[in-house]
Amino acid sequence: MCGIAALHHPTSVPAAAGEPMVDAIAHRGPDDTDQREVGRHAWLGHTRLSIVDLDGGRQPLRGLDGWTLVCNGEIYNHAQLRDDLGEQDYRTSSDSESALVLLARFGPAALDRLQGMWALCAAAPDGRFVAARDRLGIKPLYWAEVAGTRYFASELCAFPADVQAAVETFPPGCSWTPETGLVRFAEPVPEPVGMPDWAGMSAEIAEKSTREVLIDSVRRHLMADVEVGVFLSGGLDSSIVAAIAAADCAEAGQRLKTFAVGSADSPDLLAARAAAEHLGTEHHEVVFDAEQAIAALDDVVRSVESFDASLIRSAVPNWFLSELAADHVKVVLTGEGADELFAGYGYYHRTHADDLQDELARTLGELHGLNLQRCDRVTMAHGLEARVPFLDADVIAHAMSLPEELKALEDGVEKAHLRRAFTGWLPDELLWRRKVQFGTGAGAQDLLTPHWESRITDAELESTNEPVRTKEELAYYRIFRNALPTIRPEAVLTRFATA
């Protein structure tokens, strides 16, 4: 996991603008930093959190035909790609080098072969340049064009003040070159190649398939040359991830580390303790109160680079959780994405019973500006990498191929198919625990919302021209605007970008 920055100009790149951009995102990669001019038209910068090939994976990486690359993320199928492509063009053991080899040999269209989370920029001395981002936008990338120069960076704070007003989100599943412009190479939901026809098959067969694809994904997401832990909220999704990871660690003679957060006696904290005890993990937890939550808000809003109230509420406990986990591991797995694949939110069933799959696909495509943004920023603010095994391409393709009836409510309970798929892996009281959103289950909403309701008047909210919906959101907007004075709301909030 890392932070990247890049500049491109058709004739002469202003390389001096690049170093402050890398400095601004040093928290994303506290282990190392480097930068390089590539010919006259490009500059690439990188700050590194060392996870794979600790000694040889320094970036920018140089490869075939003059190409140089900076990449933020993890390529989980890099070993398979090495086998397919041959070792002759590899110089390191870095997983990112597979992206470089693919790009140099076959061009940007081949990047859809990368299985993982990533954003990259690459350049060659003769003027070629590519920027690209994974199909879901799990890893962040922003861009702007001012006076002929294109700027790219992992976070909004990296852009110079005179560029911020032009910044936009780089769209997931797309690549950009000076010759072709923006080109889509991958959709959020992969083509269901080789998926079975579920019609007529028993529910047990589908459950077995769901279990197998998730086990395979979690095992691949444990790939690292450092220790990997799990964020354990006590909810279904993170508990399944923890159960698989704990079993894998036990086979290797290791004990999984799990991490939980909440206000005192909050539902998530209590459920996480029960799950950790059942799984036999080395469990760590942090308890926060209203004073600590409010004191952290400036740091949280600046880190998340958003003012959406629900996002900030869930980010506050994640802030304390990431701070805790970073003292023990460099990588954590999370349960992000399961609700969007298996219809875990109540509104799916209340208002989209007739077009459930379409709505699931839509929300998957918007995750990059919502939960994934929060997940990435809060962990990376502490030099911690978060991985999302539910959002693996194979898992998405499988889950989205399942018939809608397997995702319907069962006796009012959501995700019954997923729960049954892991029968025996968790106690029934955890396996069938009802959905509680993280900001609520960890206790943040009860601490933060009343605080702002009592401190911002109705008149203040009614008189503001800012793009906010509640008093709480107005408070977060003020912090956001102080940190990023000229960033446009549509650059950071999905509700504006898709309106």
Task: Look at the chain and count its residues.
Answer: 499
Tell me how far apart the alpha carbons of residues 199 and 134 are, in angstroms, rounded to a whole number.
Answer: 31
Max CA pair span of the chain: 68
Kind of pairing between the strands at 42-48 and 257-262: unpaired
CA-wise closest residue to 370 among 25, 136, 182:
136
Q: What angle do CA 30, 390, 168 make, to 5 degrees?
A: 55
Residue with tokens 């459920």: 271
Look up residue 268 and give its two tokens.
């998530």
Query: What does the DSSP assignment read for 111-156?
Result: GGG--EEEEEEEE-TTS-EEEEE-TT--S--EEEEETTEEEEESSG
Establish whether 71 is a catalytic residue: no
Whether residue 438 contacts residue 317, with contact meaning beta carbons closer than 8 Å, is answered with yes
Residue with tokens 């209203």: 290
Give the contacts of 327 (CB within 8 A, at least 6 positions apart): none
Kind of pairing between the strands at 149-153 and 68-75: unpaired
H or E element at residue 362: helix 356-366
Tell me how far apart the alpha carbons of residues 478 and 455 are, in angstroms, rounded to a whole number.
Answer: 14
**Whether residue 267 has a cis bond before it, omega within 30° of 0:** no
Look up residue 46 and give its two tokens.
């990188």
Whether residue 273 contacts residue 233, with contact meaning beta carbons closer than 8 Å, is answered with no
Set 2, 121, 174, 375: catalytic member: 2
Half-sphere exposure of 154 (CA within 13 A, CB side): 32
Tell me how far apart the alpha carbons of residues 339 and 429 are, in angstroms, rounded to a whole number.
Answer: 19
Residue with tokens 């095994």: 389
Give the contacts of 338 (CB within 8 A, at least 6 positions apart): 236, 237, 240, 344, 390, 415, 418
Q: Known catalytic residues?
A: 2
